[in-house]
Amino acid sequence: MINIDASRLDHKTVNDLLRNANGDCTVTGCCGQRFIAAGLSDKRVAIEGVPGNALGAYLNGASITVNSNAQDAVGDTMNNGSIIVRGNVGDAAGYAMRGGKIMVKGNAGYRAGIHMKQYREKIPVMIIGGSAGSFLGEYQAGGIIIVLGLDGGKRIVGNFPCTGMHGGKMFLRSDCAGIKFPQQVTARRALDGDLNEIRGLLSEYCRIFGFDFEGVISSVFTVVTPDGNNPYKQMYVAN
């Protein structure tokens, strides 16, 4: 493991060191440096401290682990690989993500999974252990978003989830009573067949963070998909 001490280094220097390193890296003393591991395809990166915005942007196969919280736009447009965050993530996590996995132990801010997409075998996945803010899966065009609400008590998602959703799937570990979904999506109780699709993913998630898989899966899930007969028309303006 190669150690990169990021304290007092700017984001360009940190990323140059990461790219040029021959092997897996630990970045310590991280404090707000942006774009860490952007576009990286070939190594494991462990991060100590708080990485800056756009962590793992355009990630192309590398795997990143963060032991604290991460800021905004985690995995922006990532293509492949994995990002594991043991704390919370900020707004717009998985922005326009097109492949790979983002797994968050804690909560996500606003607009998680905004404009996620998929193409053939490339199906991005984002799993949030706690709750998600408003506009979860805004304009979602593909991929799978799962929110588990494991911290209990808190509402699993804020206002306006799935606004503009027109592809992909969302699973919320809740009966979603009192949560208003837009007209162009169908939200219904997930059946065994639906859950089979995410069993493998959840089992991997639980293994990583040490949760009890049976306890997680044996709960009510709501599955949300776009309704092809009633497509998305507008949210903000009529044009």
Partner 1 sequence: MSKGVHFDARGLCTKMNAFSAFYPERLKRFMKKEGQIRIPSGCAIAAVISRDGKKMTGESITEAMRPMHDRSNGLGGGFAAYGIYPQYRDFYAFHMFFDSRDTRKQCESFLAERFEIVHSEIIPTRKIPAITDEPIIWRYFVAPLKSAVSSMQVDEKEFVARAVMKINTGLKGAYIFSSGKNMGAFKAVGYPEDVGLFYRLDEYEGYSWTAHGRYPTNTPGWWGGAHPFTLLDYSVVHNGEISSYDANRRFIEMFGYKCTLQTDTEVITYILDYLVRVQGLTLGEAASVIAAPFWSTIESKTDLEDKLKHIYLRTVFPSLLVTGPFSIVLGFTGGLMALNDRLKLRSMVVGEKGDRVYVSSEEAAIRVMEPDAENIYAPAGGEPVIIKVKDGVRV
CB of 135 to partner 1, least distance (A): 8
Residue that is written with structure tokens 């401290």 in the block? 49
Going by C-alpha positions, the residue among 84, 78, 120, 126 that lies closest to residue 99 is 78
User: Could you say which residues in the range 131-170 bind partner 1, by CB under 8 A?
Assistant: 133-135, 158-159
Can you tell me the distance from the alpha carbon of 1 to that of 3, in angstroms, rounded to the nearest whole number? 6
Residue closer to partner 1 (CB basis): 85 or 202: 85
Does 7 bind partner 1 (CB under 8 A)? Our answer is no
Does 56 bind partner 1 (CB under 8 A)? Our answer is no
Q: Are strands 25-31 and 2-5 parallel, antiparallel or unpaired?
A: parallel
User: Could you say which residues in the range 84-103 bind partner 1, by CB under 8 A?
Assistant: 88, 90-91
Give the one residue of 4, 40, 52, 139 binding partner 1; rule: CB under 8 A: 52
Does 105 bind partner 1 (CB under 8 A)? Our answer is no
Residue closer to partner 1 (CB basis): 15 or 118: 15
Residue closer to partner 1 (CB basis): 10 or 214: 10
Stretch that binds partner 1, among 39-47, 83-91, 141-149, 202-210 (CB under 8 A): 83-91
Residue closer to partner 1 (CB basis): 53 or 184: 53
Stretch that binds partner 1, among 13-21, 48-56, 57-65, 218-226 (CB under 8 A): 48-56
Does 49 bind partner 1 (CB under 8 A)? Our answer is yes
Give the one residue of 109, 124, 129, 226 binding partner 1; rule: CB under 8 A: 109
Stretch that binds partner 1, among 68-76, 167-175, 200-208, 212-220 (CB under 8 A): 68-76
Give the one residue of 65, 69, 80, 225 binding partner 1; rule: CB under 8 A: 69
Give the one residue of 16, 31, 41, 189 binding partner 1; rule: CB under 8 A: 31
Residue closer to partner 1 (CB basis): 114 or 224: 114
Can you tell me the distance from the alpha carbon of 203 to that of 192, in angstroms, rounded to the nearest whole number? 15
Can you tell me the distance from the alpha carbon of 128 to that of 121, in angstroms, rounded to the nearest whole number? 22
Question: DSSP string spanning the chain?
Answer: -EEEE-TT--HHHHHHHHHH-SS-EEEEEEES-SSTTTT--S-EEEEEEE--SSTTTT-EEEEEEESS---SSTTTT--EEEEEESS-B-TTTTTT--SSEEEESS-B-TTTTTT---BTTB--EEEESS-B-SSTTTT-EEEEEEE--TT-SS-SB-SSTTTT--EEEEEESS--TTPPPPTTEEEEEPPHHHHHHHHHHHHHHHHHHT--HHHHHSS--EEEEE-TTS----SS---
Residues that bind partner 1 (CB under 8 A): 10-11, 31-34, 49-50, 52-53, 69, 71-72, 88, 90-91, 109-110, 133-135, 158-159, 180
